[in-house]
Amino acid sequence: MKKLDAGFYQRADLLQISKDLLGKLIVTNWDGEKTIARIVETEAYEGIGDKAAHSYGDRRTSRTEVMYNAGGLAYVYLCYGIHHLFNVVTNSAGIPHVVLIRAVEPVEGLTYMAKRIGRNDHVHRLGAGPGKLTKALGISVQHTGISLTGNKIYLADDGYKLMQNEIVASPRIGVDYAGDHALWPYRFMIKDHLSISVKTKSISNLEIS
């Protein structure tokens, strides 16, 4: 298993990173409670020019500031007053591009995840949704700004390979307020995976690009 280094995150091609993250592992290790999950769904947020992004129009606030750092950090924020959403900061300093992790498949530490979710969910559904996966992995807003190349939390490649035709795209979820940008096919997932969050009409990979 190989930890993803800063170079992975600091590339300029946001959509490529969003697709590359599919199949990668998220490892968290809080006080010895180690959990590992495989990313199966992501969404790209293209910063200043993206009406769906928190940093649209170059809005710098104490919350969004972390996105302006060079890639390789976590951006975590609270949604609906309840859910902690985990994003990966990408690109170089000054460009607030992020990738939201929307769903994961539990791989290791299942008992910790089930305990954190606090409910007897099916294994494949423990990380099926952006709010659920942070709960299962123990990630919260207190972790915003944390390095993804450290030891507490990091992403890794275990050699899992995806075929190009296993990756499908769709418009992003819950961003209807973003007008025409809500239609951008910036959500990527592993085709027909059991841990995908919500069902929507997907677009075949051939139609995007």
Partner DNA sequence: TCTATGATCCCCT
Partner DNA sequence: GGGGATCATAGAT
The smaller minimum CB distance to DNA, of residues 34 and 119, is found at 119
Nearest distance, CB of residue 166 and DNA, angstroms = 22
Nearest distance, CB of residue 117 and DNA, angstroms = 7
d(CA 148, CA 117): 23
Residue 9: how many CA atoms within 13 Å on its side-chain side?
28
The smaller minimum CB distance to DNA, of residues 1 and 177, is found at 177
Residues that bind DNA (CB under 7 A): 43, 45, 52-54, 59, 61-64, 75, 77-83, 85, 87, 98, 100, 117, 119, 121, 129-133, 141, 172-175, 177, 197-198
Nearest distance, CB of residue 185 and DNA, angstroms = 15
Nearest distance, CB of residue 13 and DNA, angstroms = 18
